Chains A and B, each alone.
Chain A
Amino acid sequence: GNSVTQMEGPVTLSEEAFLTINCTYTATGYPSLFWYVQYPGEGLQLLLKATKADDKGSNKGFEATYRKETTSFHLEKGSVQVSDSAVYFCALSRSGGGADGLTFGKGTHLIIQP
């Protein structure tokens, strides 16, 4: 079945540092890929998505590119802020575009220090 592997946390960075959170997946077919974020005290929310190979999703300065050849969807940001501190989840659609739900990774806790 579909599965997601993402780097273990916590990841601790200084403000304005470059961020990469690795995510690789195993899937049959051509899933859509997602990054969700959970800020302290809030529910998970969609950060960005990509639906096909070489698509780049972007939002709030974060980017991720759907790499079919390496089955990866790494999350990057050029200059992180304290407000980016949160738990980040990589996910893929259970089938098709995701209308029947998503399969999530274990999450990566990101801590940004001033």
Chain B
Amino acid sequence: GAGVSQSPRYKVAKRGQDVALRCDPISGHVSLFWYQQALGQGPEFLTYFQNEAQLDKSGLPSDRFFAERPEGSVSTLKIQRTQQEDSAVYLCASSSPSTIPGELFFGEGSRLTVL
């Protein structure tokens, strides 16, 4: 596709439910990033992949958060047993070695509300 696509755009979950958020990066982009953006805050780094390898997951807030990118393209961020503090916009971004270093192409985000 032309840009980074994320789904669902909006998700409402009851506390304790599991959720899965999908990211479809720009075709051919090697690197993929997940960020969490709470209301009124900047994006906070969660994890990143280079192809299918998860090179850094130091930003994942707890072991309830899990991300995968099994074929080096589409990625899924899974949150188990959701809590109210997980409510945020989850942003996905991708980049390529051929683009400007540090230029991340962001999707519009998935807004998660945990009740």
Residues of A within 8 A of B (CB): 4, 32, 34, 41-46, 49, 51, 89, 91, 93-94, 96-107
Contacts and interface: CB of A to CB of B under 8 A. Distances in A.
A37 B56 CA distance: 25
Contacts of B42: 4, 89, 91, 104-107
Contacts of A42: 108
Nearest to B55: A100
A4 B42 CA distance: 10
A102 B101 contact: no
Interface residues of B, number: 28
Interface in B17-74: 31, 33, 35, 40-45, 48, 55-56
Given A100-B56, A103-B45, A46 B103 contact: yes
Given A42-B108, A100-B48, A107-B42, A32 B4 contact: no
Given A44-B104, A99-B95, A101-B56, 6 more contacts: A4-B42, A34-B102, A96-B101, A100-B56, A102-B45, A105-B42
